[in-house]
Structure 1
Amino acid sequence: MSSHTRRSLAALTSAAALAAGLLGAVAPGAQAATVTPGQIALYGGSTGIATVNSNGTGLRSVPNIPNYGYTPNWAPDGSRLVAGWSQLVTGRVSGSTAPITLPWATGVRSSAAYEDPTFWLDGRYVVFSTGGQLVYGPSDGSWAPEPLLTDAQEPSTVCDVHPTASPAGTLAFERRDTYGCYESLGIWTYNPDTRALKRIITSGSSPVFSADGTQLVFTRLVGEWTQLFTADANGANVKQVTTDESDHTAPSWDPAGGRIAYEAHSSHAGWSSDVQTVRVLDLASGTSTQLTGAGKGAKPAWQPLRRNTLARVYGTGSIGIDGAASRWTFDKTGGTHEPGLIAARSAVLVNKGNATYSAPALALAAEKQGPVLLTSGGRLDNTAAAELKRSLPRGSSVYLNGGTRVLANNVANQVRALGYKPVRLDGTDLSGLSVRVAKQITSAPSWIFVADGNEYHDPIAASAAAGALGYRGKGVVLLTNGKNVSASIRNYLNALNPNTTGLVTVGYNATKAIENVTLNKVWNFWSIGGRTHEDVAANLARFWWSSPNWATVQDTWSWQSAIAGGAVTATYGPVLWSSRATLSAPTAYYLSQRAASIMGVQAFGPNASYPSANRTGIGSAIAASSAWTTTLWAAGGALPTTSATARSAQLSPLTAAPAKPSAPSASSASGAARPTAALAVVPGEHLPAPDSHSAR
């Protein structure tokens, strides 16, 4: 058997799923979040991208975006810039991590420059124009950008340029007609929920949404000069806001909404006599001030500074970490619904002293929509019983993860006495248990993750990836005994169709185990490796999640916290590992590179596991700086009433069943085209094929 290791593999969804309106929702609270003005990014010609303070001071070059950068734009939280011309690059202005070069677009009508990129849907995507087509792709570069609109929506007789995105997901753009795409057909909008296109302004160019999405600024030719206009987001209430005899182009809103930065041209743009500066218009007074000297920058883009979230969930008093994680996610049964929570449909019990036997429970709980609760092996702990009664309706299934030597019959009897249905999942060994749990999840998995069961780090990360397929998902985890594959796993794999099932090994031992096993069918697989557990988890996150909005960071020593937390967060993003004193480098790098989309990190466990330096590292990685990350302290899983909602289960479960993946091959490799909720980031199409070799 042979493997194929890649750095950026997974995708969120296909263009067809996006066109079907499956990604239109964004995180509650994100639309209304207060956004503060920051720096202004500029195109500096041969000097590349630069930034300048809003008062004109502090002009400086951006170190990690190549000098071909053009038309810069900011992520919704101001953490990253996107710019480019022949190819797009995203990077941090600090240069603290390497930039990401987005792949070449596929399926476009012609090869042309990549113009006017804008982040979309809370930073998960970048939308841009090339050759008159609107194209989109994930902001982390995990798959190649592709056309956004259908041929019927965007015929070859029109050119769509200057896209801009509102916080709610609406896109506005300029549509042009005739040869060379010179004649404007006005400003149009695209609604990703309904797929509807609508012309909202009959004459206008270069639209830009305000940070709150309520207004547009655009340009229009008045007499001989290009002037600035504002309008409501639906195109109503159009107002001309400049009148002086110069061209006003490339507008950008102050994120607070009161000012507009723009290019000012003393004569018509492009003329040899033109003197170009960047100016700022104050809408209240109608006056403008010069920001840069002649020729010192173009294409201004105003940085939005929005607070991201670090949610700290921990036990307190009689509530342990498992109870806190459950309360963070699941409603009180029979009680008043709390916004942001969902109803538990089951629960999974694990032995609180047995780390390796607990790992499969994470994927099971994510599939069955319930918490993982910790208990003693010989009796049901009072804390677990209390949380069962709080969160789970009587008559529901409670899964016992392991045989009687792991969870005694007494535990099952106590569960039954509380009015629940105990379902024991057993196996002759850990590998057998993982097979039994896998069969409980589904008889026909779409994806199988394999990890070494002799320790818990890789299995927990793998189980979280399997659980990412959601409450109607088909992801399972199998646990090897080091580099050995048991008969139970061999039999399980032999009964499946490798042409309809993806196989992923997580960690060196698991890869060796699958490479050396003898099966009765040809299996090809993907291999995820790394020098440390932190490396492996970060590499798995790159493989499986495309531009996630959330991630979970776990203390490497607290497996109980990782199991309890991962069970309620797997459907929303990866589980990453970190040391306690400071944020581990592989995790910090992963978060920083995906800062455009990640708006929050969740961390489960005692406060000693996440000291100040660790929290500062998380804040610095996901936001413009650590000062722009707010820590929410959820003692016992209860969010402070004064804080904005930032729960893991912010959304309802997935509502549509996934399609099965196509078989990976040398020429084509695609996964399940998956619908997603607003924060749920799950794998979809665009997986590359593993190497094609026969199993030994």
Structure 2
Amino acid sequence: MRSRTRRRIAALTSAVSMAAGLLGAAASGAQAAQAEVTGGQISLYGGSTGVETVNADGSGLRSVPNIPNAGYVPNWAPDGSRVVAGWSRLATGRVTGTTSVVTLPWATDMRSSASYEDPVFWLDGRYVVFSTGGQLAYGPSDGSWAPEPLLTDTQEPSTVCDTHPTASPTGTLAFERHHGGCSDSQGIWTYDPSTKALKNIIASGSAPVFSADGTKLAFTRQVDGWNQLFTADADGTGVQQVTTDASDHLSPAWDPAGGRIAYEAHSSHAGWSDDVQTVRLLDLAGGTSAQVTGAGQGAGPSWQPLRENSLTRVYGTGSTGIDAAASRWTFDTVGATHVPGLLAAKSAVLVNKGNATYSAPAIALAAEKQGPVLMTSGSGLDASAAKELKRSLPKGGTVYLNGGTSILGSKVASQVQALGYKALRLDGTDLSALSARVARQISATPSWVFVADGADYHDPIAASTAAGALGYHGTGVVLLTNGKTVPASVRNYLNALNPKTTNLVAVGYNATQAMEHATLDKAWSFWTIGGKTHEDVAANLARFWWSAPTSATVEDTWTWQNAVAGGAATATYGPMLWSTESTLSAPASYYLGQEAASIWIVQTFGGNASYPPANRTAIASAIAANSSWTTTYWAADGDLPAQSAGRSAFAATPAAPAGGSARPAPDPAVVPGEHLPAPDAHSAR
């Protein structure tokens, strides 16, 4: 793709329905509320020095030079991996000195072009909410599309001024509301993204901030001319004044571990010539406060939450191959008690375990038909594949044979039928014809077509995984070219489609060349995804297709079996990235680092040879505040190790996501391809 800045396709979901529907769905699935959080550094606005950080005991005050435009209080992602700051424009970045800064696009459809104030991460770090011109706006934390108004004109008329948003881990927003040009205070309000309801919960108050667990609010209120600190329950009840001294107390921030509030302290009224500004900590239990910074050092404290992310390792042992392990990781056992996080298989796809490129289309097919990809010899059904079929798929289910008899012999089909399944062969004279046959099995009229060069497995697997992200809807297919040539079988499939209603993406240089020089009945405009290496192409495809995903999969670039099995298991959850074995490849590392605010789980498929310690440590570092805040879970044969009580190790961990499973729940708010630019104007004639 030549331009990485995405915008909405006009025909897709409107801003209002996005805020009302998908955000509500995301709120219902937020996992942060289930996790224990502790406190790390305190970030500050340092004036001309931009973002600063300091330890809670006052030591280690330092500037963070790589985050630009820091004109207002910076705020942390829910896991402490990134901060967001800005003024004329917002940016997110790390405080560790790395350069993975993401500058968010300009907001669209706002009533004014005022500065961007009080940015805060929302819904598990997937979004950023801020105030501009007294109007609340939101957008994805990775900048994949331009921020938009959060509330409707009815909810936020021009006579209203909403500022200082704060986000609960369950998705509720609280903010300060004014009437009459931001001068007439109307207290603190909340917005529930699931119900779209607005509510005035505190009649008088400013600068609200939720505690890390979402049960409490801190805010300020004027008492006898001074701004004092107050606390309340999250619903606005139980209001208590917690400071009384004759000074201004501004910009409260909870200690993520609870019990303390950092705030901006002023010896006299803020802004007066004799004012001395410091940052202090209030101990709520004892009522005492301690100074953190010296006079004039820093303002607007925000406390880093440290929450564990997850690296889940799925691998086979003994006679259990990676295909069976991935299947066990994803699908229930027929006749057994349902395991939370698993699905009931509705089909299965068989591929030749020695043929990489013929296996690539199976990923999109398996994701669409809700079944595992299993691998076997071409001459007969392997015992391991037969065992996993019987475990995962009820009798009478359809087993798709990916390839002609030269790929999967007639004996394979007869053995599948002998087990009580329907064997449906998807045949083709060559690889391109097979991809077209599989595409027709998914849909004769898909919404999205991904084209990749079948001469090498890397781009086809990445493309098929992206197409599979639209699983269960019959809307995403992958077609394979023969190098820079579009064979007749693929041309025929494309000629039957309407370019005006079908989106096409060329993945990789050869596929782009093939499409640009193809002789088709109709002219096509399409997107192009390029890159110097296969790792680059996969990372660029992830940026193009996904908006602030919550999970990702890293695959060993040398072992296609891991990628096919893992891609089929995870295609509907998040992007797939290629990595070298010795350590995490630079494109994958950079992508994960940029998406760290939203990604809280990474999955890998394959054994230690594919992901040695250096690789795993690099993944852990990329998605969390540092590697110590990512916990690795080992799923041998696709099963999490059971404890004596019969629960998984992950479910017993305090930092476990909602649902108590290391398997990521599908995120209904993630709609691949929803906010994309107009395709490049290529003529395929």
Shorter-chain-normalised TM-score: which range? Answer: over 0.9
User: Amino acid of the residue matched to residue 339 of structure 2?
Assistant: E
Give the Cα separation in 1 of the matches to 2:186 and 2:235: 16
Q: What's the offset of the Cα at 1:340?
A: 1.4
Q: 2-side partners of 1:412 and 1:144: how far apart?
A: 51
- The offset of 1:154, in angstroms, is 0.9
Tell me the equivalent position of 2:677. 688
Question: Partner of 1:356 in structure 2?
Answer: 357
Q: Distance in 2 between matches of 1:53 and 1:552?
A: 34
Q: 2:263 maps to which residue?
A: 262
Contact 1:23 1:193 in 2 (8 A): yes
Q: Distance in 1 between matches of 2:422 and 2:209?
A: 56
| Superimposed CA distance per residue, residues 654-678 of structure 1 (whole angstroms, 9 cap, x where no aligned partner) | xxxxxxxxxxxxxxxxxxxxxx526
Q: TM-score, normalised by structure 1?
A: 0.94
Contact 1:97 1:592 in 2 (8 A): no
**SS of 1:572 mapped into structure 2:** coil
Mapping 1:450-599, distance limit 5 Å = 450-599=451-600
The 2-side partners of 1:124 and 1:326 are apart by: 29
Alignment partner, residue 33 of structure 2: 31
2:441 is aligned with 1:440: yes
For residues 575-617 of structure 1, the C-alpha deviation after alignment (integer angstroms, 9 at most, x for no partner) is 1011111111111111111111111110001111111100011
User: Where in structure 2 are the equivalents of 1:598-677 lying within 5 Å?
Assistant: 598-640=599-641, 641-644=648-651, 650-651=664-665, 677=668
| Native 8 Å contact 1:572 1:682 kept in 2 | no
Do the aligned residues in 1 keep the contact of 2:38 with 2:256 (CA within 8 Å)? yes
Is 2:5–2:677's contact at 8 Å kept on the other side of the alignment?
no
Q: How many angstroms apart in 1 are the aligned matches of 2:16 and 2:159?
A: 22
TM-score normalised by length of structure 2:
0.95
What is the match of residue 150 of structure 1? 152
Alpha-carbon contact 2:546-2:673 (below 8 Å) kept? no
Q: Does 1:106 align with 2:108?
A: yes
Aligned partner of 1:71: which letter? Answer: V
How far has the Cα of 1:241 moved from its partner?
1.0
Higher relative contact order at CA 8 Å, sep ≥6: structure 1 or structure 2? 1
The whole-number CA distance in structure 2 between the counterparts of 1:623 and 1:642 is 21
Alignment of 1:174-213 (within 5 A): 174-178=176-180, 180-213=181-214
Specify the alignment match of 1:118 in structure 2. Answer: 120
Measure the CA separation in 1 of the matches of 2:30 and 2:75. Answer: 23
Q: Tell me by how many angstroms 1:571 deviates.
A: 0.8
Are the counterparts in 1 of residues 31 and 124 from structure 2 also a CA contact under 8 Å? no
**Closer/same/farther in 2, CA of residues 401 and 37 from structure 1, 3 Å limit:** same
Secondary structure of the residue aligned to 2:445 is coil
Tell me whether 314-323 or 255-264 shows the greater mean CA deviation. Answer: 314-323
After superposition, residues 366-385 of structure 1 pair within 5 angstroms as 366-385=367-386
Return 5+ residue gaps in structure 1 as ranges: 653-675
Alignment partner, residue 6 of structure 2 = 9
Aligned pair partner of 2:172 in 164, 170, 174:
170
Alignment check: 8 A CA contact 1:76 1:304 kept: yes
Over residues 401-436 of structure 1, what are the superposed CA-to-partner deviations in whole Å (9 max), with x where a residue is unaligned? 111111112111111121211111111111011011
1:40 aligns with 2:47: no
Partner SS state of residue 524, structure 1: coil
The amino acid across from 2:668 in the alignment is A
SS at match of 1:278: strand
Whole-Å separation in 1 of the counterparts to 2:440 and 2:404: 16
Q: What letter is aligned with 2:467? A: A
Shift of 1:692: 2.8
Give, as a single letter, the amino acid of the residue that structure 1 aligns with 2:21: G
Opposite residue 563 of structure 2, the aligned amino acid is: A
Against the structure 1 CA distance between its residues 637 and 114, is the aligned structure 2 distance closer, same or farther, given a 3 Å change threshold? same
CA distance in 1, matches of 2:474, 2:171: 26
Q: Deviations over 1:446-490 (max 9, x none)?
A: 111110001110000000110111322401100001111100111
CA distance in structure 2 between the partners assigned to 1:691 and 1:480 by the alignment = 20
- Matched-pair contact (CA < 8 Å) for 1:261–1:300: yes
Query: Could you tell me how far 1:691 is from its partner in structure 2?
Result: 3.2
Q: CA deviation at 1:69?
A: 3.6
| Residue deviations 1:110-137 (CA, integer Å, cap 9, x gap) | 1101011010111111000101111001
1:104/1:189 Cα in 2 relative to 1: closer, same or farther (>3 Å)?
same
Contact 1:10 1:545 in 2 (8 A): no
1:71 Cα deviation from its structure 2 partner: 1.1
What CA deviation, in whole Å up to 9, does each residue of 1:318-377 have, x standing for no partner? 321111111111111221111111211111111111100000000111111111111111
Shift of 1:95: 2.4
What amino acid is aligned across from residue 277 of structure 1 in structure 2? T
User: Can you list the C-alpha shifts for 1:157-186, whole angstroms capped at 9, x where unaligned?
Assistant: 1111111111111111111111x2122212
Q: Distance in 2 between matches of 1:67 and 1:477?
A: 42
Letter in 2 for 1:134: L
CA distance in structure 1 between the aligned counterparts of 2:196 and 2:40, rounded to whole angstroms? 33
The residue that corresponds to 2:645 in the other structure is none
- 1:274 shift after superposition: 1.5
Q: Classify 1:14/1:461 alpha carbon distance in 2 versus 1 (closer, same or farther; 3 Å).
A: farther
Aligned to 1:519, the other structure's residue is in SS state: coil
- Measured against aligned partners, the alpha-carbon deviations of 1:3-50 in whole angstroms (never above 9, x if no partner) come to x62224377975234333323335564312111100000001111110
**Structure 1, 332-341 or 507-516: larger mean CA deviation:** 332-341
Worse-matched range after superposition: 338-347 or 572-581 = 338-347
Query: How far did residue 538 of structure 1 move?
Result: 0.5
Query: In 1, are the aligned partners of 2:127 and 2:141 still within 8 Å (CA)?
Result: yes
Q: Distance in 2 between matches of 1:463 and 1:441?
A: 12
Alignment of 1:251-400 (within 5 A): 251-400=252-401
Identity %: 74
Other-structure match for 1:669: none
Unaligned runs of 5+ in 2: 642-647
The residue identity in structure 2 corresponding to 1:249 is L
Counterpart amino acid of 2:82?
A: R
Q: After TM superposition, give the deviation of residue 306 of structure 1 in Å.
A: 0.8
Q: Which amino acid aligns with 1:220?
A: R
Query: How far apart, in 1, do the equivalents of 2:458 and 2:551 lie?
Result: 20
SS of 2:494's partner is helix
Q: Distance in 1 between matches of 2:570 and 2:246?
A: 56
Going from structure 1 to structure 2, the CA distance change for 1:97 and 1:582 (only over 3 Å counts) comes to: same
Contact in 1 for aligned 2:69/2:88 (Cα 8 Å): no
- State the SS of the aligned residue for 1:602: strand
Q: Distance in 2 between matches of 1:62 and 1:615?
A: 27
Pair 147,47 (structure 1): closer, same or farther in 2 beyond 3 Å: same
Distance 1:137 1:318 in 2: 47
Cα distance in 1 between the residues matched to 2:569 and 2:108 = 36
Q: Distance in 2 between the 1:464 and 1:17 partners?
A: 27
For residues 371 and 20 of structure 2, the distance between their equivalents in structure 1, rounded to whole angstroms, comes to: 29
Question: What residue number does 1:665 align with?
Answer: none
Q: 1:20 to 1:241 in 2, by over 3 A?
A: same
1:279-319 CA deviation, whole Å, 9 max, x = no partner?
11011101111111111110100001111111000001232
Report deviation, 1:628: 0.8
Taking a change above 3 Å as real, the CA distance of residues 594 and 14 of structure 1, as seen in their structure-2 partners, is farther
Q: Aligned letter for 1:591?
A: L
C-alpha contact (below 8 Å) 2:69/2:90 kept by paired residues: no
Count, aligned residues: 667
Question: Quick check: 2:100–2:590 contact (8 Å CA) kept in 1?
Answer: no
What SS class does the counterpart of residue 232 from structure 2 fall into? strand
CA contact (8 A) 1:137 1:144 kept: yes
Check the 8 A contact 1:402/1:426 in 2, yes or no: yes
